[in-house]
Structure 1
Amino acid sequence: MKRHGLQIGIERIDNDFFLSLKVSGKLTHEDYQKITPLLDNALEGLEDPELVAYVDIRELEGWELRAAWDDFILGAKHRKAFKRVAIVGDQRWADVAGKVGSWFIAGEMEDFDDPAKALAWLSQDRD
């Protein structure tokens, strides 16, 4: 049995959202079929939502081609909603995810090897 997928947490504070994602294994199209409606529903009806996202990719093994496309579509759809994204994990995957993500995420994106530093960066300038 090979474990893979996305674990998602969404916390709402007024009009701001703290999104946490933990990625494991090799992501599939089916993984995105599950997560996309969750994010869409959380943001539905909000005017100019602001997301800060903590993405843990320490267990990421890669993406299927269709899943990579799903990731692009999801990011493009919610492009303006992302204020700040912290990626925690293996430097090689964090660099790739950060570069690709910066193409379709309007906000700031940083990669970290220390989860505490990532969370501190996400909480800067939050009122």
Structure 2
Amino acid sequence: MIEILSDMPEGVTGIRVTGTVTGDEMRAFEPKMREMLETDEIRFVEVIDPDYEGFGRGGLVEDLKMGFGMLIKHRAAFKRMAVVTDTDWIVRALHVLGWMVPGELEIFGLAELERAKEWAAGG
């Protein structure tokens, strides 16, 4: 599931992912992503809960379609992405694949959510 977080600093979009993320949920999130792309600077906080299991039916396909399409066209707009998680496999994956994320990427533990928000908003 994808939940849009409302308690973010000005100019920062936040989401929480839990359970499995389906293609329908990715399509439902697409308007928020397009709204973010209307700005010159994308600052993002993604909270990944411990119960996150990955993509469900159609989720990965929609994520790849939306992600690559938007990244190619708007790569320079991505400034800061804070990933907030205590899940080891996600942290390890981000250390290996983080170079693919445009802009700056930082990883925070769940107890550091407020610090992650401040970091995403800064600079």
Alpha carbons of structure 1 residues 95 and 62: separation in structure 2 relative to 1, 3 Å: same
Q: Give the aligned CA root-mean-square deviation in angstroms.
A: 2.7
Residues 8-37 of structure 1: per-residue CA shift (max 9 Å, x gap): 147795xxx311001010111111111112
Give the structure 1 partner of residue 2 of structure 2: 6
**Residue 91 of structure 2 is aligned to residue 94 of structure 1:** yes
Higher relative contact order (CA 8 A, sep 6+): 2
**Cα separation, 2, equivalents of 1:100 and 1:74:** 18
- Structure 1 segments unaligned to the other structure (5+ residues): none
TM-score normalized by the length of structure 2: 0.74
Percent of residue pairs bearing the same amino acid type: 21
Residues 43-101 of structure 1: per-residue CA shift (max 9 Å, x gap): 46x3x621110000024121136312322222223322321111111232233356556
Alpha carbons of structure 1 residues 69 and 97: separation in structure 2 relative to 1, 3 Å: farther
**Residue 22 of structure 2 is aligned to residue 51 of structure 1:** no
TM-score normalized by the length of structure 1: 0.72
In 2, are the aligned partners of 1:88 and 1:94 still within 8 Å (CA)? no
Alpha carbons of structure 1 residues 98 and 72: separation in structure 2 relative to 1, 3 Å: farther
**Cα separation, 2, equivalents of 1:88 and 1:12:** 16
- Structure 2 segments unaligned to the other structure (5+ residues): none
